[in-house]
Amino acid sequence: TLAELIDVLDVTRLDDDRFRGETIPLRLSGGGASERTVVDGSQLLGQAIVAAVRREPGRVVKSAHMIFARAASSEAPVDFEIDSLHSGRNFASLSVEVRQAERSCARALILLDGDAEDLVRRVEEAPSLPGPDQCEPFALGTIGRDVRFVEGTDYVEPDKIGPPTLDVWVQFAECPKELALCQALLAQMCGPLLIGVAMRPHPGLGESDAHRSLSTGVLTITLHFHDPGPVDDWFLFRHESVHVGRGLCDGIGRIYKSGKLVASFRQEGLLRSMPASATGLERTKLL
């Protein structure tokens, strides 16, 4: 449920520079296995954002870049170890390492800021699209998070093709009081869809093949918060695949609220054939 997801993102302080977070299994859409015993990379990014703000109270995350080195298991908690690169009057820069059972799983670089008045302002407006009331709901593994696809939900099927884009409305049934948890909820939504969008124009490939005949996984996510705020309204997530080749897929995304751009993200993903000799254990690994 959404409440359980918020609890997972709400990391616990162990000492000044270490935090611990619980984990939940990666839940898949489409016809593949419904659950894997690995942690969604965007969940780790969301937890790292919360840990960074707890380390630098009074500041807001402006950007975060995370590289995923190996999969974390959903059967044990993960630790976030923070190294402060700089903490000045205006900005703070942190390195956040994600560790589990003495193994390094991922690392993030996070920039935090206080706040400042506009010197100038120009904000990109959202495109004109059918609203959420006109769009089809899609189950994306979390009760309490309403997800609706503008173009329909057939992008997961290998025999369905479409453009390398996907527009998705998202609304959260609960709005945390802490801004960092609101940012973490948006971060957690940046991972699930871009690899499927990359496969969309190509016949015979679909999200339902992931971790069955296709080896897929998120390698990096970069997220920028332009206007951080509460998750108290519908958000429009615009996904676009910009390059696919050499076993990788690169995609970009924009997040709009109330018709205005509030965040943007970029993701690099793994997209390769699953080796025919792969064992069941190997099929649960991202890399």
Report pLDDT for 31. 39
- Express each pLDDT in 158-198 by its tens digit: 777 889 999 999 999 999 999 999 999 999 999 989 999 99
Residue 154 has pLDDT above 70, yes or no: no
Residue 30 has pLDDT above 60, yes or no: no
pTM of the model: 0.91
Tokens of 89: 């009057």
User: Residue 51 in contact with residue 265, Cβ under 8 Å?
Assistant: no
Distance CA 54, CA 122 (A): 30
From its phi and psi, is residue 258 left (phi > 0), alpha (psi between -120 and 50) or beta? left
Residue 276 has pLDDT above 80, yes or no: no
The SS3 of residue 284 is helix
Backbone angles phi, psi at 181, to 5 degrees: -70, -35
Report pLDDT for 279. 44
Question: What angle separates helix 41-55 from helix 179-188, to the nearest 10 degrees?
Answer: 160
Distance CA 29, CA 196 (A): 10
Distance CA 96, CA 63 (A): 13
From the CB of residue 220, how many other CB atoms can be counted at a distance below 10 Å? Answer: 15
Report pLDDT for 284. 45
Question: What angle separates helix 41-55 from helix 2-9, to the nearest 10 degrees?
Answer: 50
- Express each pLDDT in 48-74 by its tens digit: 999 999 999 999 999 999 999 999 999
Distance CA 109, CA 179 (A): 19
Residue of higher predicted confidence among 27 and 235: 235
Distance CA 219, CA 222 (A): 10
* Cα 219–Cα 271–Cα 158 angle in degrees, nearest 5: 135
- Tell me which residue of 24, 35, 23 sits closest to 210, measured CA to CA: 35
Min mean pLDDT across 6-15, 189-198, 208-217 is at 208-217
Q: Where are the alpha helices (DSSP H) in 152-216?
A: 179-188, 194-199
